[in-house]
Amino acid sequence: MSASDHVFVTETIRIPEWELSEQFVRASGPGGQNVNKVSTAVQLRWNVTASSIPAAVKARFKRRYGGRITREGELVLEAKDHRSQALNREAARKRLAQMVRDVAEPPRKRIRTKPTRASVRRRLNEKKQRGQVKALRGKVSRED
């Protein structure tokens, strides 16, 4: 396969061209006669479940974009921002590549740090002041 037969996501992850299917439809919204006659909007379909990307990336993709995936496991992206079919096609492919790129690397583990002495002291002082304010809200006795 040549380089043009893939949608490049990262250096290691490539989506083969045959995994994508495109359908050109008429775009909705303003645009006059052009929008009524020409099918410039593109619906890009990619079967996430049957794709050749690594299983870990696939799982992260499904977790993050699960609401956009159909029951059959297909992701449907629609691009209709441009007046040209070619630009909409390119925009949809770029959007797909960015979505996969966002989940390609596993999230970094957070390293827990200890709060500073000053921040602990400030927190305790604020709690003490808040407690004093609340203590003043008690019932007033008749002796006062």
Assessment of whether the complete model's pTM goes beyond 0.85: no
Q: What is the pLDDT of residue 1?
A: 46
Query: Which pairs count as long-range contacts for 125-128, CB under 8 Å and 24+ apart, including other chains?
Result: none
d(CA 21, CA 93): 11
Q: What is the pLDDT of residues 110-129, one digit of tens each?
A: 999 999 999 999 999 999 99
Angle between helix axes 85-104 and 55-65 (nearest 10 degrees) is 110
| pLDDT at residue 20 in the model | 86
DSSP 106: P
Q: Which residue has the tokens 């006059």?
A: 32
Domains and CATH numbers, the chain: 3-104 (3.30.160.20)
pLDDT value of position 133 = 94
Q: Which of 77, 20, 22 is nearest to 52 (CA)?
A: 20
Quick: pLDDT tens for 18-66: 888 888 887 776 666 766 677 888 999 999 888 888 888 899 999 999 8
Residue 68 DSSP code: G
Q: Over the stretch 82-113, which tens digit does the pLDDT of each residue have?
A: 888 889 999 999 999 899 888 888 889 999 99
Q: Given this model, what pLDDT does residue 124 score?
A: 98
Q: Per-residue b/e over 100-124, b at no fewer than 16 CB within 10 Å?
A: beebbeeeeeeeeeeeeeeeeeeee
Which of the listed ranges 50-54, 72-76, 127-131, 132-136 does the model predict with the highest average pLDDT?
Answer: 127-131
Q: Does the structure show a pLDDT above 60 at 69?
A: yes
Continuous segment of H or E residues that includes residue 104: helix 85-104
Residue where the block lists tokens 């970094």: 108
